[in-house]
Structure 1
Amino acid sequence: MPTVQTQKNALYMAWLVALVSTLVALFLGEIMGRTPCVLCWYQRIAMFPLTIILGIAAYLSDNAVRRYALPIAVIGGLVALWHSLLFLGIIPETVQPCSRGGPSCTGNEQTLFGALPLPFLSVAAFAAIILLLTIPFRKAST
């Protein structure tokens, strides 16, 4: 059975992942001037509130946060996965929501330092949050 301290640490780590993800997204948009694509906006809609929700939950040691934070993280993760599949070319261009005059979902502006795809980083961030909100809270099987 996980200890209370392990669960508290998991909440703080989940908040830290959400905080760093939010700060990076804001840096890319506001400092570097990159306009987010449609799918990036949806991922931000999921990630930005997680920063506040998980921060408050970590401060209050509220393990019940999983009930309302996990659905947000799962939805954000699914959007990020879809974005990643578009970036890889697995999903055809005809399904891309970003082709309506805005920034491309699959262009070079979707990379960090010209090599690291932002959709993959988003999938990793949401996956980390989901794991941190589930694994330490599982009951030991007998």
Structure 2
Amino acid sequence: MKKSPQIEQAFFASWVISLIAFGGSLYFSEVMKFIPCELCWYQRIFMYPLVILLGVAYAKKDFSMSRYAVILSVIGGSISLYHYLIQKVPALHEWGSACGIIPCNTDYINWLGFITIPFLALVAFILIAGLQVFIWKKEKETDAA
């Protein structure tokens, strides 16, 4: 059965978002020479497989893979949220100083006073998870029709 164009577009958009996050993290570490902290590495562990998973799933039109994308996104997003809170909530700021070689409360970027690298990762994880939920709803509508 042919999937609706909205499902395909949402899946493609999810893959593009993961690709941008992947490229952005490599840009910050390899070009800007920002050394990732321990929590940044954990976020990468959950974002990088999404590039492959979503890309292959989109190419094969296997949208059942969205279940796995949501799992990776929710776990990665939880880590991003925790990391962001360590950076921005004064009461939690001390927790980031014992994170490893690079303290997790280090703000390499702080655009507009609130946009940090963990914030960017969190937005990517939320968008990917949200698009997967949209796909699930559209698939149910398509199957019901």
Q: TM-score, normalised by structure 1?
A: 0.86
- Between the aligned partners of 2:74 and 2:49, the Cα distance in structure 1 is 13
Q: Which amino acid aligns with 2:35?
A: T
Question: Aligned-residue CA RMSD in angstroms?
Answer: 2.1
Q: Which amino acid aligns with 2:102?
A: P
Q: 1:31 to 1:131 in 2, by over 3 A?
A: same
- Between the aligned partners of 1:8 and 1:93, the Cα distance in structure 2 is 41
Deviations 1:59-104 (A, max 9, x none): 11111111222111110000001011111125524533x5254112
Contact 1:10/1:136, CA 8 A, preserved across alignment: yes
- Between the aligned partners of 2:69 and 2:112, the Cα distance in structure 1 is 32
Q: Which amino acid aligns with 2:104?
A: C
1:130 corresponds to which residue? 129
Written as runs of structure 1 = structure 2, the 5 A alignment for 1:61-72 is 61-72=61-72
Q: TM-score, normalised by structure 2?
A: 0.84
Whether 2:10 is the aligned partner of 1:10: answer yes
> Which structure 2 segments of 5+ residues have no match?
none
1:37 corresponds to which residue? 37
- Between the aligned partners of 1:37 and 1:91, the Cα distance in structure 2 is 20
Comparing 48-57 with 59-68, which one deviates more in the overlay? Answer: 59-68
- Between the aligned partners of 2:22 and 2:40, the Cα distance in structure 1 is 12
> Which structure 1 segments of 5+ residues have no match?
none
- Between the aligned partners of 1:25 and 1:114, the Cα distance in structure 2 is 19
Question: How far is 1:120 from its partner?
Answer: 1.0
2:119 corresponds to which residue? 120
Q: 1:5 to 1:74 in 2, by over 3 A?
A: same
